[in-house]
Structure 1
Amino acid sequence: MSHDVIVVGGSYAGMAAALQLLRARRRVLVIDAGQRRNRAAAASHGFLGHDGRDPAWIANVARSQLERYPTLTWIEGAAVAASGARDEFAVETSDGADHRGRRLLLALGVSDTLPDVPGLAERWGRSVFHCPYCHGYELDRGDIGVVATGPMSVHQAKLLPEWGRVTLFANGVLDLDPQTEEALSGRGVAIERASIARIEGHADVVLADGRRLGFAGLFTASRNAPSSDLADRLGCELMDTPMGTQIRTNEAKETTIAGVFACGDAARVPHSVSLAVGDGAWAGAQVHQSLVFPPAA
């Protein structure tokens, strides 16, 4: 069976895109490996109409709504290979099946590279976060720690005093010049230069010198990259951002390969559920229009 559009990735951006296409009565295949980026989080915040909801609940309701449309096909599995050109794409799934489609939409999501600090990864999404707009309010103006990863951590530390008293842990990766230190001090940010030994308890930072500092929550600027190399293998151009690597797209969310589109965290910064949904909705409409109108000469 040939589909109008194959969407690789069935999280928020992929489903938002698929919804636009299904409502245009297009045949849509969604291939989803079931690895939502926020699967460790207990609540999603900042998404209008769903503030404080379990992110799994939001995803499950969205999928149930998509499944009301008869032109949807949903496959639970990983897309392991993709090839072809505009109007003639092929995607292979982990079960060895081959799927054909006229357009390909990559809603791959991203992987997060976290600081190599014992105990930090286990708390990711629970008491260690990346987005203050998503998680800052719930810290109730408590003490906040920022575990540095690079220059973006300075930006993060300057922003976070809106939500509580902030300590920036340079942790051997930041060499702060006097001007930057002054700017941080002006925002009330304390700077801690001792190395971090580990994270314990809810969000306790144990330093190499033995001190233990407790926080309501910790933030860190993870480095991102698309969670699959499908875009790279298709020949899509990637680009560097302050947060990592993403798929380059134009205003219509089309990549540098004709007929291949991308949306969501793998194709934009910054990241949140609401931004992913908006990006996906726009991408879905643009993919549909590419099926209706011939490409510009």
Structure 2
Amino acid sequence: MNDVIIIGGSFAGLAAALQLGRARRKVTVLDTGLPRNRFADHSHGLLGHDHKPPLEILAEARQQLARYPTVRLVNARAESISGAIDDFSVLTGDGESLKARRLILSYGVADQMPDVPGFAESWGSSIVPCPYCDGFEVAGRHWGLVWSGPQSHTYVRLYHDWTDTLTVLANGHEIPPDIRADLARRGIPVVDGRVTEIAQHEDRSATVKLDTGPNIAVDIVFAHPRNKPSARLHESLGLATVDTPLGIALKVDERRETSMPGVYAAGDLANPLMASVTLAISHGATAGISAQQSMLV
């Protein structure tokens, strides 16, 4: 029997595996090889790895885990999970049945691309969601923000640290008069109409086409499509969730334990505040240590 099965082998899952491996706990990591940030050319803001391709960082992490004989990395999808603390069962897509005393769920979320030509193709290059991840590289240039709801007003204030040139694309949303007045006070134009196409260019700039009015040329587009968990395994265990403006996240305590004893969660799947590689690694390490300490006798 495994001490811990980790479902999802990106930054959070591998960080958990590292802590458990160093504690000589028997661990199996199940991973499909499809991390959320695989569309990004570089990962930014990660101490010691700034501006490195995320897939390169993950590959290096897997090589480092080879030092730990109790850690097993398996390229497989978890199809189902069941059981309770000290007796969890996981069935993989390859038909392997695994047992574990604890589970760590770190299978992340999948961004739901809108049905707009060019949007999915531009994701991670001309269209990005996070200024902390990509803002420095396009600082001082013309940004476009696709409005997604009340939270977008916060983004407007946040982006001011990177650029003074911002255009809001309402994309069919009703922006309240008081918020429009605040945007006008800040000198931020609002372009009404729905986005019908994104045409990206080689330098990461983009032309945004609308169903009304002229096209809008910007140097980068910031957008926040809704997301959903990359798997539904948490549903079979009845784990508690929290609602966020962009989707749902698993509810965890300060030790990263979910509403079911013995089940922990880390990474974007359990972070309702901000997607970040740094936070994913921190939360993954916390989940791994917490799972290990929960098994002490």
TM-score when normalising by structure 2: 0.94
Contact 1:156 1:221 in 2 (8 A): no
The amino acid across from 2:192 in the alignment is R
Q: Distance in 1 between matches of 2:63 and 2:213?
A: 51
Q: Render the CA deviation track for 1:147-194: whole Å, top value 9, x for unaligned.
A: 12222222223322322211111111x212222112223443221112
Which SS does the other structure have where 2:68 is aligned? coil
Aligned equivalent of 2:286: 282
Kept in 2: contact 1:249–1:267 (CA 8 A): yes
Query: 1:290 is aligned with what amino acid?
Result: S
Aligned length: 291
With 202-211 and 48-57 compared, the bigger mean Cα shift is at: 202-211
Q: Where does 1:49-198 land on structure 2 (aligned, <5 Å)?
A: 49-164=48-163, 165-172=165-172, 174-198=173-197
Distance 1:189 1:91 in 2: 52
Give the one of 230, 237, 241 matched to 2:240. Answer: 237
Alpha carbons 1:120, 1:199 under 8 Å: kept: yes
Contact 2:122/2:200, CA 8 A, preserved across alignment = no
Q: 1:137 to 1:77 in 2, by over 3 A?
A: same
Other-structure match for 1:208: 211
1:219 matches 2:222: yes
| RMSD of Structure 2 on Structure 1 (CA) | 1.3
How many percent of aligned residue pairs carry the same amino acid?
44
Instruction: Structure 2: give runs of 5+ residues left out of the alignment.
Output: none
- Paired with 2:187 and 2:281, the residues of 1 have a C-alpha distance of 35
Does the 8 Å contact 1:158/1:189 carry over to 2? no
Paired residues of 2:118 and 2:200 also in contact (CA < 8 A)? no
- The 8 Å contact of residues 226 and 247 in structure 1, kept in 2 or not, is answered as no
- Partners in 2 of 1:169 and 1:129 — Cα distance? 15
- Structure 1 pair 186/280, CA: closer, same or farther in 2 (3 Å)? farther
TM-score (norm 1): 0.94
> Which residue number corresponds to residue 257 of structure 1?
260
Bigger shift: 113-122 or 230-239?
113-122
Equivalent AA in structure 2 for residue 208 of structure 1: D
Amino acid at match of 1:222: P
Which secondary structure state, in structure 1, belongs to the residue aligned with residue 81 of structure 2?
Answer: strand
Instruction: Find 1:266's aligned residue among 265, 269, 275.
Output: 269
- CA deviations on 1:96-147 (whole Å, 9 max, x unpaired) are 1101100000001101123332211111111111111100111131111111
- TM-superposed CA distance for 1:87, in Å, is 0.4
